[in-house]
Amino acid sequence: MSHVYKLIEVAGSSTSGYDDAIRQAVAKAAETVEHLDWFEVTEMRGHIKDGQIAHFQVVVKIGFRLS
């Protein structure tokens, strides 16, 4: 069986780490998009405040299957 996918790109942010930022981005996308199948982290960066990491930021491509 073959499938056709559409890609979206979302950004996630977390004060805890990159893993949490990825999970939050995927969870938020799942609230409005059905059939999510995979993700790819395309960018990683962070926000620094007073010499400390304040936020971890990621850009994630998410593929979802078109029905």
Say what the pLDDT of residue 65 is. 93
- Could you say which of 1.10.3720.10, 3.20.20.210, 3.30.1660.10, 3.40.50.10800 is the CATH number of the domain covering 4-66? 3.30.1660.10
2 — phi, psi (to 5°)? -105, 155
- What are the backbone angles phi and psi of residue 31, rounded to the nearest 5°? -70, -30
pTM over 0.95: no
3-state secondary structure of 53: strand
The predicted-structure confidence for 3-56, as pLDDT tens digits, reads as follows 899 999 999 999 999 999 999 999 999 999 999 999 999 999 999 999 999 999
